[in-house]
Structure 1
Amino acid sequence: MKLVCSSFATGQRQVEGTFYEFCTYYLKPSKMKEFMQNFKKNIHLRTTYSELVGYWRVEFGGRIDRVFHIWKYDNFAHRAAVVKALANDPEWQEKFFIPNLPSIEKQESEITYLVPWCKIGTPPEEGVYELVTFLMKPGGPALWGEAFERAVNAHVNQGYAKLIGVFHSEYGILNRVHVLWWSPNADSRAAGRHLAHDNPKVVSAVRESVNYLDIQQNIFLIPEPFSPLK
């Protein structure tokens, strides 16, 4: 198996080519409903080619007229084949791509890998999600990786929220790490955050990690009905 040089490998190297594409579409507010209805109707045309991990609309935490979705690929050749197939699929082009181009103001794409010490989690029931993005100081995981892992696991061990995945950027802004959490609802997430702030084990682990932190952003996500992660 060919070794993939993962920029977050603080211990065991990442040996799988599997990666996750983080896509964000900024939509025109007047077109949001129309865009989502069209996507729901034609989602099967897209998932024929690659696996959709999750699809959410942003509820708060910056611009709210946007959707965020994660796609899984086996490797870069797989993604290239999917892009080519979609470009040559007349049904996808005519029913979704071309009609919805006027609804999109901007698109962003980021290639990420799961960190070696994390696997995609499964939520116990339908709920809400929080994507926490950390821009760490230059120097890479050799500098801050172990402290960051301890901070995440301190939250996991207390059970204040369910960890779905920890991802690091490979293409996009480097030294950026995304942590995706699940909670039953917004109030339970808020309650968990307050408890974490009063927990000495969590506070100690976070205090160590933030020494290497430049910027943190939290966005609150509502899964769409067709999202595999609900």
Structure 2
Amino acid sequence: MTHSTLPGPTGHASRPGAELTPPSPPRPAPANRAVCSSFATGPRQYDGTFYEFRTYCLKPSKMNEFLENVKKNIYLRTAHSELVGCWSVEFGGRLNKVFHIWKYDNFAHRSEVRKALAKNKEWQEQTLIPNLALIDKQESEITYLVPWCKLEKPPKEGVYELTIFEMKPGGPALWGDAFKRAINAHLHLGYTKLVGVFHTEYGALNRVHVLWWNESADSRAAGRHQSHEDPRVVAAVRESVKYLVSQQNMLLIPASFSPLK
């Protein structure tokens, strides 16, 4: 298992180092000693790359107009930072919703991108200003990929499911290992394909986003029914839900210009 550390008093992960020799005779470890997890903050913080989840709630009947406008001018935006994917919400939660994932090298990179776009008259006049009239609400979250996961590209076009888990306070040191086993139980048994697992840094804390891919909504439904009857999946999920507060999901349809199809 990869060594990991818990955040120190300032919020930064402490560096692994030589352990102090305990006094003689050694004292037993406290019963409430925190358990380190491979799903912890240390490896993530050494890599500055993060992903911004941007969600736009559009006015009714404005979805097509919004997406067409973005499609025509998306090259102006992707010249500054990488678009991972763009989807419309088909099922789950509010309709007329568009969801984007943007990748940044670090926070300085994001600041540079925002400043450049603010000065780009073509982007402002052709995309931003016209689309503002179509938007009711917008939200943003900053997330990191968990250390045991890398972003995967599906083999062909399909549909995506974004599942959002609100976990109990305590962070990955409390629930990370159990959560990882539940995800891997679905993945390794072939019921679906994992695209990425993201842990929120800014937004609702103790939130984990899991992005899945399936060939179709029907294949997703079939895989879900099979997994619910698999004792290996049931056992892993039963352990993980001890730390679960709530969960929700959305079925996402990729936009024509989305890199992830």
Q: TM-score, normalised by structure 2?
A: 0.85
Distance 1:151 1:9 in 2: 13
The answer to whether the Cα contact below 8 Å between 1:5 and 1:13 also exists between their aligned partners in 2 is no
Q: Which runs of 5+ in 1 are unaligned?
A: none
Distance 2:12 2:254 in 1: 32
User: Which of 141, 146, 149 does residue 180 from structure 2 map onto?
Assistant: 149
The answer to whether the Cα contact below 8 Å between 1:57 and 1:68 also exists between their aligned partners in 2 is yes
Q: Which residue of 1 aligns with 2:66?
A: 35
> 2:94 is paired with a residue of what secondary structure?
coil
Structure whose CA Rg is larger: 2
Q: What one-letter code is carried by the residue in structure 1 that aligns with 2:170?
A: G
Q: Which runs of 5+ in 2 are unaligned?
A: 1-10, 14-36
Distance 2:121 2:153 in 1: 35
Q: Which residue of 2 aligns with 1:217?
A: 248
- 1:31 deviates by 1.7
Distance 1:170 1:8 in 2: 17
Q: Is the aligned partner of 1:197 residue 2:228?
A: yes
- More moved, 72-81 vs 13-22: 13-22
Residue-pair matches, total:
228
Q: What one-letter code is carried by the residue in structure 2 that aligns with 1:10?
A: A
The answer to whether the Cα contact below 8 Å between 2:39 and 2:148 also exists between their aligned partners in 1 is no
The answer to whether the Cα contact below 8 Å between 2:39 and 2:177 also exists between their aligned partners in 1 is no
The answer to whether the Cα contact below 8 Å between 2:38 and 2:148 also exists between their aligned partners in 1 is no
Greater relative contact order (CA < 8 Å, ≥ 6 in sequence): 1
User: Which of 167, 174, 197 does residue 166 from structure 1 map onto?
Assistant: 197
| Coordinate RMSD, CA, aligned | 1.7
Q: What one-letter code is carried by the residue in structure 2 that aligns with 1:229?
A: L
- 1:13 deviates by 2.3
The answer to whether the Cα contact below 8 Å between 1:8 and 1:140 also exists between their aligned partners in 2 is no
User: In the TM superposition, what whole-angstrom CA distance separates every residue of 1:146-179 from its partner, at most 9, and x where no partner exists?
Assistant: 0000000000101111100000000000000000
Distance 1:9 1:103, change over 3 A: same
Distance 1:5 1:28 in 2: 41
Distance 1:175 1:11, change over 3 A: closer
Structure 1 stretches (4+) deviating beyond 4 angstroms? Answer: 4-9
Distance 1:108 1:8, change over 3 A: farther
Distance 1:118 1:5 in 2: 21
Give the share of equivalent positions with the same residue, in percent. 69
